Amino acid sequence: MKQLYIERSIELPEDLKITVKDRHVTIEGPKGTLTRNFDPTDVEITKKGKKVDIKAFYINKKRKAATLAVVGYINNMVKGVMQGYTYKSKIVFSHFPLTVEPDNKKKIITIKNLYGGRKNIIVPIVGPETTVKVDKDDVIIEGIDKEAVGQTTANMQEACRLRGKRKKDPETFMDGIWLWDKA
């Protein structure tokens, strides 16, 4: 038997302010404000007091997956404006000392001396609220948007990926910036 509709509810904490207009959701909390547009999905988002209801009708696999993804996005937005996200990456090098210099005003991270190379690697910081700081051999990425924090971390790891002649022996060349903790 086919499922006719799917419905999920999200309970919101007291100190949050949420605005739902069409499929545009804005959540304001103690850490900041996040806005997301859910227009590409066929879901119905309504606010009832301190509760958000998400519904979709005529369910198939794709529509069910899209509905549950919207629920996950809203949960991540709530957690982001309440607690924020912190990802920690470790700076690893064996011979050539690798240095990382974040510039939060210009929204870039400069990686110097990777594998002894003279060329600096520039990595963008994604999102306006995302900040990066270096503490000895740790790079700490913080922000309220989970996707922006995760994408900044992934961009740093991708910039340090093995290429060229070093690609064949990853056990010898382990230099880079690698994620080791999420909070």
Q: How far is CA 107 from the centre of its chain?
A: 15
CATH domain 5-82 topology: Outer Surface Protein A; domain 3 (3.90.930)
Task: Please answer whether residues 45 and 24 qualify as being in contact, where contact means their C-beta atoms are separated by less than 8 angstroms.
Answer: no
CATH domain 85-182 topology: Outer Surface Protein A; domain 3 (3.90.930)
pLDDT for 108-158, tens place per residue? 999 999 888 899 999 999 999 999 999 999 999 999 999 999 999 999 999
pLDDT for 160-181, tens place per residue? 887 776 676 767 778 899 999 9
| Percent residues over pLDDT 90 in the chain | 75
Say whether pTM exceeds 0.85. Answer: yes
- Residue intervals of the chain classified under CATH 3.90.930.12 are 5-82, 85-182
